[in-house]
Amino acid sequence: MDNLAIECRQLTKRYDEQSVVNQVNLNVKREHIYGLLGRNGAGKTTIMKMILGLTAPTSGEVLIFGMPLQRNEKRLYPRIGALIEKPGFYPNLTGTENLEIFAKLRGTTQSDAVRKALDVVGLPYQDRKIFGQYSMGMKQRLGIANAILHDPELLILDEPTNGLDPIGIAEMRAFIHNMSAQFGKTILISSHILSEITLLADDIGILHNGILLEENTIAELEKKNRKYIQLEVSDAAKAVLTLEQDFSIKDYSVQDLHLLHVYDTSLDMGKINQALIQQGITIISAQRCNDTLEDYFRKVTGGEGIA
Amino acid sequence: MRALLNLIQIEFLKLRRKKFVAGMLFAALIMPVIAVFYFGMLDTKELDPIKFYKWATLSYTPWILLPVVLGVLSTLLMYDEHQNDMLKQLWVVPIGKLAYFFSKFFVMLMYSNVFMMISAIGSILAGLLSGLIPLTAPSLLFLFGKCLEISLLAPAAMLPVLALAAAQRNYLLPVGFTIIYTFFGFILLMTNMYLHPLSAMTAILVRNDPVVILNEPINTGKAFLVLGIWSLISTIGAGFALRRSL
Amino acid sequence: MKMRDLLWAERRKLRRSNILLIAFFAVIMVAIIVYAQGQFSYYGKRYVEVNEWYMTAALSLGSLYVLPAIIALTGTYIIQLEDQSDTMKSLAIVPVSLPRMIRAKWIVTAVITLALYLILFLITLTTEAILHFPLLTPSGILSFVKQYIIQGLSLFLAVSPIIALAAKMRKGYWLAFIFAEGYSFAALFVGMQPTISAVYPITAAFHVSGYYKTTPTQMLLSICSLAICGTLTVAIFHQLKQES
Ligand SMILES: Nc1ncnc2c1ncn2[C@@H]1O[C@H](COP(=O)(O)OP(=O)(O)OP(=O)(O)O)[C@@H](O)[C@H]1O
Ligand SMILES: [Mg+2]
């Protein structure tokens, strides 16, 4: 329990009668990067808002570093940095001026905290440009800068690469990776882009229509990302028998009456063909396949897929 | 022309679910209610209905209440589209800048019409129910005639605010300006009626009123000229501002 | 978090925003417009030629027609900054307490109101000095300073509940200004009845500042009325805590 930075228990949010987040048990381990994956409207932002106490759960609870946020605000908030949806700032102030307000309100003592944070995200410190004139990517960067301004242990980032150009995305990835690897920060990051998450996260949660379908380590998930031979035959049950007896194959799965996946790809297809035909099984097709995480997600989300 | 009609129709669609726009109509009833108390306190015998109507509908309402309400309305009409960055989407439809401006003006016309009708009916009811005045045909004719004049002239007099609202992203300037502008028009009633559209409007309204005594007879042509010049300046200004709004 | 920091932040948030400029402009315009009215002649004598007419008229006309709405506009503008810029979610996790922040905003509005009245005072005093310098006396000036300051602060209290209600409803903030305008407009007629005029907050401000001739009872009523406005405002702000 001690090694959890965030623990959600049966977290549920309903708007009117509609369940937007449904009994989610989400656990973020300390010093891990946790990727929350889900399509538009899956409920990622809502979960993050509930974790941060920005919206009240209908039921269930959240523990941050083992404590409920309520009545621990003064202790917990300074340890958290967050970027939720599009970051809001005062449009009439420059980025520096905006951050100075937050630094002051947080009671930041470090005098160059603002400059450092801007440095990290690659925004200029002495700039006349006001936030209202920022481009989308600059706004996003300023949001990140505000999240890391007070050097928090836990970062909660809602689609941080939103609006960034490809180079910006790569930089952001390197930045997040660095925050975790070098500074041991815990990071909860949401995204609807699978590849982005797989490149970064240690753990992954898949959210679909408000339900956390799967929560696992990337390593565990990647095992499912395997090569196999797909056999389409007249009678899958009979074919399995042959494969087990003649080739002692154990690692297979029956997809339906006619479809088989065999995970040992070193097999001699010629011999298998022969054996099956001898048993009176017609082979309709045989092909080598590559099951990706994407296919896997498509399966768990009931065919809709992720990105 | 068809396009303009469409635009006007769309303007009214945009006002759906804006309770505040309808809510501001209540301001039309402020003076009728106050008039009942005022004349009730004075305890005058045989109150002339026209005198009552002048007080309850034709004085402070067109001088202050209606202008402020129209100023807020014109800001409301422009504000959302500015705020949500929708103008750039409208221009690529494409929609003409002046047609856009006129469709807003037309909404103001309709609105001020409804406002004055409510005020007139409110005055009649307030006067009758309180027993202060009898119902007479000439007074009704006078009341509705003046209300119609007001509802046509007031939106024209408020065009500078609409133009300012078209030029500004923020609501602060048009709204702040509305107060000053209305106050100025009201104060100038006493000193010079031919500078400010709102006081020019009042000049037109009281042109043949025997009760109003002024140093010099009212020059309606001059008053219309003032109104016209300011309307023209406002429209041209709004055209420029909207062209720059990308 | 210290109140001082909150006040500092509020002041910082107003940079480059033109609300202060607009409020300032409104005050200048009040001075100009009232001067224009002073050109009206009554039995051959222009109003402005009457000693102290200008300073009195600017204070009363401004306080009746323009400044309550401007105070409401300023107050609600300052209060809605977070909603408009969507910064509340970032502030909430600082954490900044909403009621305290709103109170800071309220104080800033009071200071701005005071500044506006002092500016109006300086303009009218200068004009008055140009018009009839020999008639100015130190005690006269002092009593005007007092009147302007008290009028400003009282009017601020009278308008405060409207600002507080706008903060509570959390939308269409700026529309509060039209309520403030109606509220001060009604004072024109409320003033006709002595007791009501002592109780009605806008006219109460005139009683407290000494603009109206006032009996001790009326004075007491007016002070109570304004105190209730202040209390009501604080109570509404306090309620925000439970909601946030
Ligand atoms: N205030 C609200 N009232 C009603 N429904 C809401 C509200 N906020 C969010 N929802 C609904 O909750 C669902 C989840 O929204 P949420 O913003 O959490 O999705 P998301 O996973 O962050 O999506 P995206 O990838 O688009 O950011 C959506 O169907 C949305 O319509
Ligand atoms: Mg989201």
Q: Which residue has the higher pLDDT, B202 or B190?
A: B202
Tell me how many degrees the CA angle C6-C9-C10 measures, rounded to the nearest 5.
90
Q: Is residue C197 part of a domain?
A: no
Residue A295 lies in a domain: no
- Residue A88 falls inside a structural domain: yes
Q: Are A80 and C93 in contact (CB < 8 Å)?
A: yes
**Could you tell me which of C21, C24, C38 has the C-alpha nearest to residue C130?**
C38
Give residue A306's pLDDT.
Answer: 52
The domain that contains A88 carries what CATH number? 3.40.50.300
Residue C199 is assigned to a structural domain of this protein? no
The model's pLDDT over B139-182, given as tens digits with 9 standing for 90+, comes to: 999 999 999 999 999 999 999 999 999 988 888 899 999 999 99
Q: What was the pLDDT predicted at B92?
A: 67
Residue A285, domain CATH: 3.30.70
pLDDT tens column, A98-156: 998 888 888 887 889 999 999 988 899 988 899 988 998 899 999 999 999 999 999 99
The two structure tokens encoding residue B47:
């109150």
Q: Is residue A298 part of a domain?
A: no
Residue B227 has pLDDT above 90, yes or no: yes
| Total domains in the fold of chain B | 1
Determine the Cα–Cα distance for residues C9 and C3; give it in Å rounded to an integer: 10
Reported ipTM: the value is 0.90
What pLDDT, on a 0 to 100 scale, did the predictor assign at position A66?
92
Indicate the number of domains in chain A: 2
- Residue at C99 is within a domain: yes
In a domain, A305, yes or no: no
As a whole number, mean pLDDT of residues B178-204 equals 91
Do the domain assignments include residue C226? no
Domain ranges, residue C15: 3-184
Looking at the fold, whether A210 and A238 belong to one and the same domain comes out as: no
pLDDT (0 to 100) of residue B215? 66
In this structure, are A89 and A33 located in the same domain? yes
Domain count along chain C: 1
Interchain contact, A107 vs C92, CB within 8 Å: no
Q: How far apart (Å, rounded) are the C-alpha atoms in residues B40 and B130?
A: 8
- CB of C22 within 8 Å of any CB in chain A? no
pLDDT of residue B93: 63
Percent of chain A with pLDDT over 70: 94
Partner residue facing B175 (CB), from C36, C73, C182: C73
Contact C6, B161 (CB under 8 A): no
CA nearest A201: which of A149, A155, A267? A155
Residues from chain B that touch C33, judged by Cβ atoms under 8 A, are 180, 183-184, 187
Q: In the structure, what pLDDT confidence band is assigned to residue A23 with cuts at 50, 70 and 90?
A: very high
Q: Are residues A97 and A217 in the same domain?
A: yes
What is residue A2's predicted lDDT score, i.e. its pLDDT? Answer: 67
> What is the domain range of residue A97?
4-222
Q: Phi and psi for A186 in degrees, rounded to 5? A: -90, 135
Q: What is the percentage of chain B residues whose pLDDT exceeds 90? A: 54
The per-residue pLDDT for range A198-227, each reduced to its tens digit, is 888 999 999 989 999 889 888 877 776 667
Residue A284 lies in a domain: yes
Same domain flag for A34 and A62: yes
> Backbone dihedral region of C214: left (phi > 0), alpha (psi from -120 to 50 degrees) or beta?
beta
Give the number of other Cβ atoms within 10 Å of residue A111's Cβ: 8
Using the beta-carbon criterion (under 8 Å), do C36 and B187 form an inter-chain contact?
yes
One domain for residues A239 and A185 = no
Average pLDDT, chain A: 87
pLDDT: is B67 or A285 the higher one?
A: B67
Q: Check whether A307 has a pLDDT greater than 60.
A: no
Q: Which residues pair with residue A231 across a beta bridge?
A: A260, A286
Instruction: Looking at the CA of residue A210, tell me the nearest atom of ligand 1.
Output: 14
> A53 to chain C: which residues are within 8 Å by CB?
92-93
**Ligand closest to the CA atom of residue A42:** 1
Confirm whether A8 is domain-assigned. yes
| pLDDT at residue B130 is higher than 70 | yes
Q: How confident is the model at residue A168 (pLDDT cuts 50, 70, 90)?
A: confident
Considering only residues 73 to 92 of chain C, which have any Cβ-Cβ distance to chain A shorter than 8 Å? 81, 85-92
pLDDT at position C243, please?
Answer: 54
Answer yes or no: is pLDDT of B108 > 80: yes
B135 or B82, greater pLDDT = B135
**pTM, rounded to two decimals:** 0.82
CB contact under 8 A, B180 and C73: no
DSSP bridge partners of C41: C46
Element holding C99 (H helix, E strand)? helix C98-132
What pLDDT, on a 0 to 100 scale, did the predictor assign at position C209? 92
Give me the domain span that covers residue B239: 2-244
Residue to substitute from A96, A104, A131, A146, interface C, most C β-carbons within 10 A = A104
pLDDT of A297: 72
Per-residue pLDDT of chain C (244 residues; tens, 9 = 90+): 678 899 999 999 998 888 999 999 999 999 999 999 888 877 778 888 888 889 999 999 999 999 999 999 999 999 999 988 889 888 988 888 888 899 999 999 999 999 999 999 999 999 999 988 777 888 889 999 999 999 999 999 999 999 999 888 877 787 788 888 889 998 988 888 888 899 999 999 999 998 888 889 999 999 999 999 999 999 998 887 655 4
A244 and A191 in a single domain? The answer is no
Q: Is C175 within a domain?
A: yes
Distance (Å, rounded) from C-alpha B175 to C-alpha C23?
A: 11
Contacts B34 to C, Cβ<8 Å: 186, 189
Mutation target among A75, A105, A140, A158 for the C interface, most CBs of C within 10 A? A105
B12 contacts chain C (CB < 8 A): no
Asked if residue A32 has pLDDT above 90, the reply is yes
